[in-house]
Chain A
Amino acid sequence: MLEVKDIRVGYNGSGLVLEDLGFTLGAGEILAILGPNGVGKTTLLRCINAMIQPKTGSVMVEGADVFDMSAGQIARHLGYVAQHNEAGRMTTFDTVLLGRKPHMGWKVGHEDLHKVGAALHQLGLQHLALRDIDRMSGGELQKVCIARAIVQEPRVLLLDEPTSSLDLKNQLEILGTIRRVVKEHQLAAVMTMHDLNLALRFADRFLFIRKGKVFASGRPDEISAEMVAAVYGVQVDILRHDGQVVVVPNGKNGD
């Protein structure tokens, strides 16, 4: 579904931010991109979405290169949920309707309205349809943004730190919603994350970036303390609890 190959990104006058980075992702799979601050996780998402043109490499969605697509075609193939979302005085329904923009002509069609209604239902937002989004909690707003990306009817969903400013309950709820939507719609989802435990719990695979390169990747149960130590410089123990992999910093960190 998604094939990212040999991506090299560098800004003028500085070295490479991302170097020879690549991975593939199938339908219904969630990949968590992990790594310390400033390692290039968001840059990678922007590159996949063609907001940044890499020096070399390709991003293929169902066999088509996104760098050969028009802006509208990209929006019909890839949905993006940004880390920071502005909330103006728009209702939930109209905000989600905005996600139909890549498909709309001059007028909003009945089909567009029905799809928004369906997305609101799927994300449990129907009771908030006429609520202005500037009066919503962080968790509700994040769900609205996910619904907006869903009605784009993309094949790939990109999420930049989807739970960064949410409390624990909302973190679990949002990631659960993302997982359900990805499986139901058979999307490929890439999300950048800081919380290793949440990533291992909700993603099908993880990918560690270190110094702009893929350091390690695998299924959640393949993570090791050595990987975490090498990427973050933190000593951890890897535990199993209730069928889940849990990363716990240990007493060797000098605190």
Chain B
Amino acid sequence: MSHLNHGHIPPAYTAYVGRKAYFVTGLALLSLVLLVMAISLGAVRVPVDQALKSLAGLEADPRFQIIIRSIRLPHALAALLAGTGLAAAGTAMQSILRNPLGSPFTLGLSQAGAFGAAFAVMLLGAGTMQSTTVGAVTIANPYLTTLAAFMACMATSMVIIAIARLRGATPEVMVLSGVALGSLFSAGTMFLQYFADDVQLAAMVFWTFGDVGRAGWREVVFMAVVVALGLVYFIANRWNYNAIDAGDETARSLGVRVERVRMIGMIVASLITAIIVAFLGVIGFVGLICPHIVRRIIGDDHRFVMPAASLSGAVLLLASDTVARLLMAPHVLPVAVLTAFLGAPTFLYLLIRGRWR
């Protein structure tokens, strides 16, 4: 169709796209700065140059090297990866489910994870508590708890997929199945808690406090692989999500296989969430609100929303983790407590302020 060959690209559009690209780049730089700060700040202050040396793979002061390599770096990377993964999964779910309240937890995954952990604590003997010198508690057999939480999360996803295949992969079917399953798992957890003894009950509740401090290098590597692959998949589908936002019929007419995109997107988002929930516990809010914060700033175009929301998740979780470690040092608050404390006012501010471009 030669009629369309010599169109004019408005210079203002080029500048507008450039501003969005700067926004994404700015978030990436902020994530890096916060990563260094997360390594540097804490009960023991690590000088920034030592943190940078360690990050660059150079030999840092041995006094700090062990703190950085064994504690700070895996925790900071866990925060970065979990924030990225949860926000990316939330962004995809909001588009796939055509629902602003969509997030990985809309599908009942957090409730499933909590039930899995409670099940492991109560019936598989993973619930013996240990008190450390600072009064923190740990679950005696974290691998068993993690495995049970992961299995419960994935079982939920599989049931939703089975129902969706049976009744058509519509957003309504998926959201309502998720809500029903979430309620079912909540009831199951309450049932177990009712019959649990004091120690088991404490272990069950403790597990639900999402905390990046639970991650070691093995968990970080595992999360990195899953989050990276998931993010590549989501970014590759950015135009499909834009098309679905325009309506299912329009998306189909643009060559998008809507049901397939919806189903695979849900599986990928569930897998990312299941891994993070199983390793770190329940970290709410990031997956729900980070995409909204970013959408209010740069609009709904997934070419920019997907990377920007993912990076904003990393920023929020890194900042929350650092504050959580500093606020009551040497005690460490679970990061999940702080994500909403830091994120909700930001979101409310943007909501009141209105649009920005």
Instruction: Pick the contact of A130: B6, B16, B300, B301 (CB < 8 A).
Output: B16
Nearest CB on B from A212, distance (A): 21
A33 on the interface (CB 8 Å rule)? no
Indicate whether A255 reaches chain B with its CB closer than 8 angstroms: no
**From B12, B16, B254, residue with most partner A Cβ within 10 Å:** B254
| Chain B residue total in the interface (Cβ 8 A) | 32
Whether A114 touches B7, Cβ cut-off 8 Å, given contacts A94-B301, A153-B1, is yes
Instruction: Please measure, in the bound complex, the distance between the C-alpha atom of A82 and the C-alpha atom of B8, giving whole angstroms.
Output: 27
- Which residues of the other chain, A, contact B255 by a CB distance below 8 angstroms? 70-72, 74-76, 101-102
Q: Choose one: B4, B239, B245, B253; the contact of A80 (CB below 8 Å).
A: B253
State A185–B2 Cα separation when bound (angstroms): 9
B112 to chain A, nearest CB (A): 31
B12 touches A129 (CB 8 A): yes
B301 near A101 with CB under 8 A, answer no
Measured in the bound complex, the distance between the Cα atoms of B236 and A121 in whole Å is 30
Instruction: Report chain A residues within 8 Å CB of B300.
Output: 88-90
**Does residue A99 face the partner (Cβ distance < 8 Å to B)?**
yes
Among B4, B6, B8, B257, contact of A150 (Cβ-Cβ < 8 Å): B4
Q: Mark A95-125, 1 if CB is under 8 A from B, else 0.
A: 1001101101010000001111111111000
The reply to whether A91 and B254 contact each other, CB–CB distance below 8 Å, is: no
Contact A116 B7, beta carbon cutoff 8 Å: yes
* A82 cross-chain contacts in B, Cβ below 8 A: 247, 249-250, 253
Residues of A within 8 A of B355 (CB): 89
Does A78 lie at the interface of the complex (its beta carbon under 8 Å from any beta carbon of B)?
A: yes
Partner of A115, one of B4, B247, B254: B4
Which one, B12, B247, B257, contacts A71 given CB within 8 A?
A: B257
Q: How far is the CB of B186 from chain A (nearest CB, A)?
A: 33
**Residues of A contacting B299 in the complex (Cβ-Cβ under 8 angstroms):** 88-91, 132
List which B144-185 residues lie within 8 A (CB) of chain A: none
**B246 adjacent to chain A (CB < 8 Å):** yes
Which B residues are CB-close (under 8 A) to A102? 254-255
Q: A95-B246, A117-B10 are in contact. Are A153 and B4 (CB under 8 A)?
A: yes
Tell me whether B195 is interfacial, beta carbon within 8 Å.
no
Inter-chain contact A119/B7, CB cutoff 8 Å: yes
A151 at interface by CB-CB < 8 Å: yes
Summarize A's interface: helix, strand, loop or mixed.
Answer: helix
Q: Please, how many residues of chain A have a CB less than 8 angstroms from a CB on the other chain? A: 53
Within 8 A of A (CB), among B23-66: none
| Least distance between A27 CB and chain B CB atoms (Å) | 12
A93's contact among B13, B242, B295, by CB below 8 Å, is which? B13
A49 touches B253 (CB 8 A): yes
User: Which residue of chain B has its CB nearest to the CB of A79?
Assistant: B253
B3 lies within 8 A of A86 (CB): no
> Is the Cβ of A113 less than 8 Å from the Cβ of B246?
no
Complex Cα spacing A145 to B299, Å: 19
Which residues 261-302 of B have a CB within 8 angstroms of A?
295, 299-301
A84 interfacial by beta-carbon distance below 8 Å: yes
Q: How far is the CB of A235 from chain B (nearest CB, A)?
A: 36
Closest to A80 in B: B253
With a cutoff of 8 Å between Cβ atoms, the chain B residues found around residue A86 in the complex are 245-247, 250
Whether the Cβ atoms of A101 and B3 lie closer than 8 Å is no
CB of B245 within 8 A of CB of A121, answer no
Q: Evaluate contact between B3 and A129: CB separation under 8 angstroms.
A: no
Q: Which residues of B contact A142 (CB under 8 A)?
A: none
Closest to B244 in A: A86
Q: Contact at B254–A98, with CB atoms within 8 Å?
A: yes
Q: Which residue of B lies closest to A98 (CB)?
A: B242
A166 CB to nearest chain B CB (Å)? 18
Measured in the bound complex, the distance between the Cα atoms of B239 and A95 in whole Å is 11
Render B92-114 as a binary contact track against A, CB cut-off 8 A, 1 for contact: 00000000000000000000000
Expressed in whole angstroms, the Cα–Cα distance for A71 and B245 within the complex equals 18
A51-B249, A80-B253 in contact; A104/B4 too (CB < 8 A)? no
- B236 (CB) vs chain A CBs: closest residue: A106
For residue B12, which residues in chain A have a CB less than 8 angstroms away from its CB?
129-130
A129:B252 contact, CB within 8 angstroms? no
Q: Is B5 an interface residue (CB 8 A)?
A: yes
- Which chain A positions have C-beta within 8 A of B6? 114, 118
CB of A227 to closest CB in B, whole Å: 30
Residue in chain A with minimal CB distance to B257: A71
Interface presence of B117 (CB below 8 A): no
Please, how many angstroms separate the alpha-carbon atoms of A185 and B299 in the complex?
A: 33
Alpha-carbon distance A88/B246, docked complex (angstroms): 7
- Closest chain-A Cβ to B264's Cβ sits at a distance in Å of 15
Partner of A120, one of B3, B7, B242, B254: B7
Q: A88-B246, A89-B295, A121-B7 are in contact. Are A130 and B13 (CB under 8 A)?
A: yes
Q: How far is it, in angstroms, between the C-alpha of A148 and the C-alpha of B255 when the chains are bound?
A: 13
11 more contacts with CB within 8 A, not counting A185-B1, A185-B3, are: A49-B253, A82-B249, A82-B253, A86-B247, A94-B242, A101-B254, A101-B256, A106-B236, A117-B8, A129-B13, A152-B254
Chain B contacts to A: CB under 8 angstroms: 1, 3-10, 12-13, 16, 236, 239, 242-243, 245-247, 249-250, 252-257, 295, 299-301, 355
Nearest 8 CB-CB pairs, A to B? A117-B7, A118-B7, A80-B253, A75-B255, A88-B300, A115-B4, A89-B299, A118-B4
7 pairs from A and B in contact (CB 8 Å cutoff): A51-B252, A86-B250, A91-B16, A101-B256, A114-B4, A122-B4, A129-B13
